[in-house]
Amino acid sequence: MDTTLQDPLVGQVLDSRYRVDARVAVGGMATVYRAMDTRLDRVLALKVMHPALAADEAFVDRFIREAKAVARLDHPNVVGVYDQGTDGTYVYLAMEYVAGCTLRDVLRERGALRPRIAMDVLEPILAALGAAHRAELVHRDMKPENVLIGDDGRVKVADFGLARPVDTNTSASSGALLGTVSYLAPEQIEHGTADTRVDVYACGILLYEMLTGGKPHTGGTPAQVLYQHLHEDVPPPSETVAGLAPELDALVAAATARSPEARPADAVALLARAKEARKALTDEQLDTVPPQALAREPSGSEDLTSVIPRHGAGRALPAPAGADPLNLTTRLEPSEAVSGTGPLEPGGGPGRRGGRWWLPSRGVLALLAAVLMVVGLGAGVWYINSGQFTRVPGVLDMPRQRAERVLSDKGLSVSLKEAFSDTVEQGRVISSAPEPGSRVRGNGTVTLTVSRGPELVKVPDVQELPLGEAKRKLRKAGLAPGIVNKEFDEEVPPGSVIRTTPEAGTERRSESAIAIIVSRGAPIETPDVVGDSVDEAREALEEVGLKVKIATSGAFSKEDKGSVAEQSPGRGEELAKGDTVTLTLSKGQEMIKVPNVEGMHQDEARKKLEKAGFKVRVSRFFLGDTVFSQSVGGGEKAPKGSQITIRIR
């Protein structure tokens, strides 16, 4: 029975925009539906939180965090998030819809995969995670269920619901460990920490599973699996698949090292090691069919689309061997009646029955003719609609020679053109026209756009040009003027460029940022004007090319009232012509009341005067320790910081 018929959301329109057409999958936190965006007229996936969880703020926050996390990523191998919103009790994400299957579906049907196919899956996964890691995000839940393989062979990483910034704990507020047991790194289990290397560990487990058809750690309970993660190394895949290349063993070992320090730092580093390992393998090693494979593996000339389960969404089950594809076979029984007179010569009729030769009746002949006509008509219709066409195989990110071989094996001609790309490695396919999955005549032509690698441009010489002109020249060269720093230079006029970083003539990728160092002119040593009158100070500063600003508030000072008490920058500091020096004017000395200390012990008197803001001098007349007089009487005022003499006897 179709369970989608029982789903209350199917057929509804959320937020007056998203029409829910069918249920795709159900998880512990949300249900995923295929939906139509009625505003933009496009199919998408709608991930709707279970209403029972929508009342829990922690779950809603985590749900919305997924939208924000993925929205920061713009990468072809990450399932995109288009929108997030609520409609009554429903909290949803509108996401990219990927027609195809998950890596788990492939492993369930195929078992172990050939190394070539395993690497074809691993590399785009690492590219997606690398983009996340460079954006300081950790996925934390990498597993085959979160790897989608489209009908065109494109691999995408989904479900960033557990994504967190680098170096955050893996524990939720409840203290429960997040993630899937089979793919948890030891530090997640033991310390509850997660940085980019936990995704590296999970990808190592994924590679092991693709190569061998099974997980490295198994047990009757989750606790047994967790124990093995902590105390046992992942075994080499070649122990299970005899003859597997040692480079693949080394790649799995590096990614799944129990100590995080021994693993590649992030997915970008692991991707580089994966590509090195792949280059070291021969075609024979890459195309070895593991004995653990559950179904016939395709030949090396085929692409990733050939391993997608044929019973997935949008796909028909293959017909049994020998079946009539048009289902038009009709069994004709010979007629009981015999037409004509007299016996027929052997071989003169279609058969004999009960010792007598027989002829088919007109009805049988008419039926046979009708069947043949239907078969012929069906074959003709099939050829017109489908037979003369084929589907463009997925060749994106393949090396050019391999992509040409895949297309040639399908009977297609190849036309090549080149383009620069910052994301696709030189010599690999950026795009195809028609696109992968499109129908094309069996002898048609597919145009491949092959990467020339990133476009490199030379940093132009902008030395001694005014800043504005230098920026225009850099933009015209295809570069981005970046941070502007200033330095003193006696030879380059103020406001003109001293140099760039990187320097002129250096090759950089198009749109790279270029730092510009601009001249402040010859340095000016700030003169000392403290104690001068305002007019004297202004004249001295303007004479050397500096501007003057008077602070709105004054300051108590030993300097005469109205003269300069402070200057900023101070004396001797280097400034450029046109820089400003701020002057603070003196309010004169601050007068404060002197405390009465006569009759006090000398130590007590000293402390009281110093606390009030005065300096203390002791004058002793006789042997003793009591103050009998003070230079400024108690209750009188004296300048703050001035000296008070106490006399002791």
Task: For residue 497, give both structure tokens.
Answer: 């460029």
Q: How many Å is the Cα radius of gyration of the chain? A: 42
* DSSP string for residues in 575-644: E-TT-EEEEEEB--PPEEEPPP-TTSBHHHHHHHHHHHT-EEEEEE-SS--BEEEESS-TT-EEETT-EE
Structure tokens at 65: 């965090």
Can you count the helices (H) and strands (E) in the chain?
14, 35
Q: Which two tokens stand for residue 284?
A: 């024979």
Determine the Cα–Cα distance for residues 541 and 530; give it in Å rounded to an integer.
12
Give bridge partners of residue 645 from the DSSP assignment: 617
Catalytic residue among 105, 120, 141, 159: 141
Q: Please, what's the b/e burial string for 90-113 (b: 16 or more CB within 10 A of its CB; e: otherwise)? A: bbbbbbbbbebbbbebbbebbbbb
Q: Which of 451, 390, 384, 445 is nearest to 412 (CA)?
A: 445
Task: Report the C-alpha gap between 441 and 354 in whole angstroms.
Answer: 53
Among 39, 47, 36, 44, smallest CA distance to 12 is for 36
Q: Long-range contacts for 381-385 (Cβ within 8 Å, ≥24 apart)?
A: 382/326
In the chain, what is the straight-line distance between the N-terminal and C-terminal CA atoms, in Å?
Answer: 112
Query: Which backbone phi and psi does 474 adopt, to 5 degrees?
Result: -65, -45
Q: What is d(CA 296, CA 306) in angstroms, rounded to the nearest whole number?
A: 11
Q: Using CB atoms within 10 Å of the CB of residue 633, give its burial: 0 to 12 exposed, 13 to 18 middle, 19+ buried.
A: exposed
Strand order in the sheet with 413-419: 413-419, 445-451, 429-433
- Tokens 């796909």 -> residue: 315
Beta bridge partners of 456: 509
141 annotated active-site? yes
> At 108, which helix (H) or strand (E)?
helix 103-110
Question: Would you tell me how many other CB atoms lie within 10 Å of the CB of residue 289?
Answer: 15
**Catalytic site positions:** 141
